[in-house]
Structure 1
Amino acid sequence: MVEADCAAVAGVRVSGWRSAYRGLLPDAYLDAMSVEADAELRREHLARAGERVAHLVAERGGEVAGWAAFGPDRAPGAGPGDAELYALYVRPDVVGAGVGRALTDDVVARAAGLGFTELSLWVLEGNARARRFYARAGFVPDGAREPWEVGGTTVTEVRYVRSL
C-alpha cells in the first residue's frame, strides 16, 4: 500500500464495515462513518508504520478490492514472535471471489518472513461469516474474549490464532 491508495482503502474499509457489521453495530454509527476521515487515518497509520508493520492492498481490474494490515501483537505480554492481523476488509461486491483469501495468504507469508511465529486476530463474536472465513484459513479461537464499545453499544470480540 502506498499513500495514493489511502482513499480507495478507506472506501473499502467503510463499505466493509457497513456490510459486515450491519445488525451487529448501531446503524447510526455505521451510517456516520466518513470515507474522507478514514482516508486521513489511513495516511497517518501508513506514515507511522514501522518495519514490522505492513499494509497490503489487493487489486482487481486495476482497482483496490481489499486491504489488510498486520504487525506486532498489541496485547500486553505478547512476545517478539507474536503478530496480529489488525484489519482485513474486502469490497462487498467481491466478497467470496478469493480476494480475502489471497490477502490472508499474503499476510501469513509476509509475517512468517518477518520472523513472526504466531498470528492472532480479533473478530466480533456475532460475525459468523468472518469466523467461518478465519477458521477455513487455519485460525482457531483460543478462548480470549474482550468487550468493545462502539457507538454506545458494547459487543464482544473473540481472539483467533494460528501458527506460522
Structure 2
Amino acid sequence: MTTRLTHVQAPDARIREMTPDDCEAVARVRVRGWQSAYAGLVPQSYLDAMSVEKDAARRREFLAEGRARTTNLVAERDGEVVGWGCCGPSRDEDATGEKCELYAIYVLEEQLSTGVGRALMTELTGRAVADGFAGMLLWVLKENDRARRFYEKAGFAPDGAEEPFEVDGVAVPEVRYARALTP
C-alpha cells in the first residue's frame, strides 16, 4: 500500500487512509450499504443476517495481513466515517498486471448524492494511477441501476464480461465494468 499525505475533499468531507480504529465504522458502512443498495436484488434473509461485528472482525484481519498494493480509504464528515472504498490488483484471470480492481465502494444511504462517493472514487483512481496501474475493473450487480449510473459517470463502461454471483442459493448476475486510467 502506498502512503500519501494528500486528501481529496468533498463538501465538508475528508478522504483518508483507513486505520484499524476504523474497522467498526467501515463495517457499519458496508453492512448498511448492502442492506440498502441490494434490497430486492439479493435474498432479504442474507441481508438480515449480516453482522457489523463479524464484518469488523474480517476488516481487522484483512488490515493485519497488510496486503501489498491494496488501498483502503474512508470518507469522514464531522469526524464520522460515512464512506469506504478499496482497490488493489485485479483478481480476474484474464486481467493483466497493469489492471487493478475496485473491490468496493460504499457510502451511507443518507450521504448519497453529496459528493462523498465521487471524492472516494477520485482518490482511489488517483492512487491506482500513482501505483502504476493503467486500467481499473469492477464488478456490479446487473440490476443495480443506481450503482451502474454512478460508475458510468465516473468513466467506467461495461466490457462484456458477465458472471453469476450466488447469494443464499440465488443467482444474482454481475457485469464487469472497465476504465482506462491516465496520469
2:31 aligns with: 14
Q: C-alpha distance in 2, partners of 1:138/1:77?
A: 21
Which runs of 5 or more structure 2 residues have no equivalent in the other structure? 1-17
Count of aligned pairs: 164
Query: Aligned equivalents of 2:163 and 2:145: distance in 1?
Result: 17
Is 1:111 matched with 2:97?
no
1:90 is aligned to: 107
1: CA distance, partners of 2:128 / 2:118: 15
Q: Which residue of 2 aligns with 1:31?
A: 48
Greater alpha carbon shift after TM alignment, 42-51 vs 109-118: 42-51
Q: Counterpart amino acid of 2:179?
A: R
Q: Counterparts of 1:55 and 1:147 in 2: how far apart (Å)?
A: 26
Higher helix share: 1
Within the candidate set 108, 119, 122, 1:102 is matched to 119
RMSD: 0.8
* In 2, Cα distance between equivalents of 1:30 and 1:89: 15
Q: How far, CA to CA, are the matches of 2:174 and 2:137 in structure 1?
A: 12
Residue 25 of structure 1 aligns to a residue whose secondary structure is coil
Whole-angstrom distance in 2 between the partners of 1:15 and 1:99: 16
Once the two structures are TM-superposed, the CA of residue 143 in structure 1 deviates from its matched residue by: 0.5
TM-score, structure 1 normalization: 0.98
Sequence identity percentage: 57
Equivalent in 71, 76, 79 of residue 93 of structure 2: 76
* Aligned partner letter, 1:56: L
In the alignment, does 2:179 pair up with 1:134? no
1:64 and 2:81 matched: yes
Find the aligned partners of 2:42 and 2:172 in 1 and give their Cα distance.
8
| Counterpart AA for 1:156 | P
Structure 1: state its 5+ residue gaps.
none
1:114 positional shift: 0.1
Q: What residue in structure 1 maps to residue 6 of structure 2? A: none
**In structure 2, C-alpha distance between the alignment counterparts of 1:109 and 1:49, rounded to whole Å:** 21
